[in-house]
Amino acid sequence: MNYRSLKVGIQDVTFGEGVTVIEPCNLYECTIGSNSFVGPFTEIQKGVVVGSHCRIQSHSFLCELVTVGDHCFVGHGVMFINDLFARGGPAGGDQSQWKRTVVGNHVSIGSNATILPVEICDHVVIGAGSVVTRPIMRSGIYAGNPARYLRAIS
């Protein structure tokens, strides 16, 4: 059998002070801010920036073109997507088809949420299992598929 095996692990990552990473995970060519935590079985790809005082729980996937602000929580199994299949299928290596995701400060994303390429403002809570398909420009609590505004944060 012919195949190529790439072992990534932790490679070319810029870490702030006091970062905790629980292995195994794949972190490569990304930036993790001070006092942040990355759980096991997590992949954070090239160019991703995670702010300070963040918690990225296990089994989450942060693809290229994702920026996460400070004091954020990303629950277990959260998936960030950067390819909208605009041509009816995967863009593959055509990065011009990929889109950016920007998550503000003090954002909490519940387990198993899916975040499409959008902007999320500061002070937002996204319920577990939600699918964020549109920008969130108003602080508050959002949930559902597609995620909708429920109420203000009390």
The pLDDT value recorded for residue 1 is: 64
For residue 106, is pLDDT > 70? Answer: yes
**Cβ–Cβ under 8 Å, residues 133 and 116:** yes
pLDDT in tens, 9-42: 999 999 999 999 999 999 999 999 999 999 999 9
- Can you read off the two tokens belonging to residue 145? 């598929």
The CATH number of 26-86+97-151, from 2.40.50.70, 3.40.50.1860, 2.160.10.10, 3.30.1480.10, is 2.160.10.10
- pTM for the predicted model, two decimal places: 0.93
Can you give the residue ranges of every domain in the chain? 26-86+97-151
For residue 113, is pLDDT > 80? Answer: yes
| Average confidence (pLDDT) over 116-122 | 97
Specify the residue for token string 């011009």.
96
Specify the residue for token string 């995701």.
101
